[in-house]
DNA sequence: TAACAATATTCCTTGACAGGAATATTCCAT
DNA sequence: ATGGAATATTCCTGTCAAGGAATATTGTTA
């Protein structure tokens, strides 16, 4: 997973720009106006987004038209996908564990509320 | 979309921690060792992840066991989902456009390679 | 070419953040 | 209570990024 995607989106105004561009490409001026940013700051943020590959630009006469790029979001999506799988597994494991615990609880009272106390340290 | 998720993941070592925790919960020492971090830095990064809600901690005797939390990733996933929809729409629109263009290209040669030149500015 | 519109870049200052080193805290065992 | 292990916090310093203001650049039009 490319970290620059995260750092690009970690800035509030940049995230706002991205969400604005969701409605379609826009030139710098329109972005600055709608988000109430100074034009230079808008340009600077767009530069960062451009370098991060989140956005592409297309020159149209005087205007520079900024448009969302799909790739980084797809990468993000793929990254998340691996997490989803693991969660499903873990959720099942947790359910099993709680099931056993519930039964056990009727007898002893040791380790109440504990989860995964079988951690091993390979120092 | 909560920005703190992005800023938390924007730091390389923190992203490594998250990916490490994918294999299951770990105490600070193990994390520091595997990622070759100083223990204090590991603690500090875990603090940030904790504040961002990416991780939860469970005290076990001397050890503090850190474990991934699902919520922020689910939120991220939901956020991405809205993007996917828009992309599909846009992709279709693009395909249509290219289709028309291809046919047109056989006759005239105007506007070759152009994409969406119908941008309008509502200033 | 001159004036103008749209955008980009530079310089400056300030605040946030990461790592290193030292120290504090917490919990267990004896 | 004392010592020690695991972890957290603090202080310090250097780096980096963001906003403001001014200016440079690029393209258009008369």
What is the C-alpha to C-alpha distance for residues A67 and B93, in angstroms, rounded to an integer? Answer: 14
CB contact under 8 A, B80 and A76: yes
Cα dihedral across residues B51, B55, B58, B64: positive or negative:
negative
- Tell me what pLDDT residue B85 has: 75
Could you read off the pLDDT of A29-47 as tens digits, one per residue?
Answer: 999 999 999 999 999 999 9
Question: Which structural domain range is residue B21 located in?
Answer: 3-69
Could you read off the pLDDT of A60-101 as tens digits, one per residue?
Answer: 888 999 999 999 999 999 999 888 777 666 655 555 555 554
Is there a single domain that holds both residue A26 and residue A14?
yes
What is the C-alpha to C-alpha distance for residues B47 and B40, in angstroms, rounded to an integer? Answer: 10
Is there a single domain that holds both residue B81 and residue B63?
no
CB contact under 8 A, B77 and A82: no
Q: Let me know if A45 is exposed, middle or buried by CB neighbors in 10 A (0-12, 13-18, 19+).
A: buried
Q: Give domain status of residue B117, yes or no.
A: no
Is there a single domain that holds both residue B82 and residue B51?
no
Is there a single domain that holds both residue B16 and residue B52?
yes
Is there a single domain that holds both residue B10 and residue B61?
yes
Q: Give domain status of residue A120, yes or no.
A: no
User: Count of domains in chain B?
Assistant: 2
How confident is the model over B70-91, as a mean pLDDT? 83
Q: Give domain status of residue B86, yes or no.
A: yes
In this structure, what CATH number is given to the domain that contains residue B11? 1.10.10.10
- Which residues of chain B form beta strands (DSSP E)? 26-27, 55-60, 63-68
The answer, yes or no, to whether residue B121 has pLDDT greater than 60, is no
Interface membership of A1 toward B (CB under 8 Å)? yes
Is there a single domain that holds both residue A82 and residue A50?
no
- Across the interface, of B22, B58, B123, the residue whose CB is closest to A83 is B22
Q: Which of A4-18, A92-106, B45-59 has the lowest mean pLDDT?
A: A92-106
On whether the CB atoms of residues A7 and B10 are closer than 8 A, the answer is yes
Is there a single domain that holds both residue B62 and residue B74?
no
How much is the mean pLDDT over chain A?
80
Is there a single domain that holds both residue B7 and residue B20?
yes
Q: Give domain status of residue A117, yes or no.
A: no
């Amino acid at each position: 997973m490319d970290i620059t995607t995260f750092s690009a989106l970690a800035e509030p105004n940049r995230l706002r720009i991205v969400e604005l561009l969701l409605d379609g490409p826009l030139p710098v001026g329109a972005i600055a106006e709608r988000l109430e940013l100074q034009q230079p700051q808008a340009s600077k943020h767009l530069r960062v987004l451009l370098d991060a590959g989140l956005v592409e630009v297309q020159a149209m006469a005087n205007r520079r038209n900024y448009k969302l790029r799909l790739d980084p979001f797809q990468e993000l999506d793929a990254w998340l996908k691996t997490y989803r799988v693991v969660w499903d597994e873990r959720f099942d494991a947790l359910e099993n564990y709680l099931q056993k615990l519930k039964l056990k609880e009727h007898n002893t009272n040791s380790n109440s509320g504990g989860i995964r106390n079988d951690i091993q340290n390979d120092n």
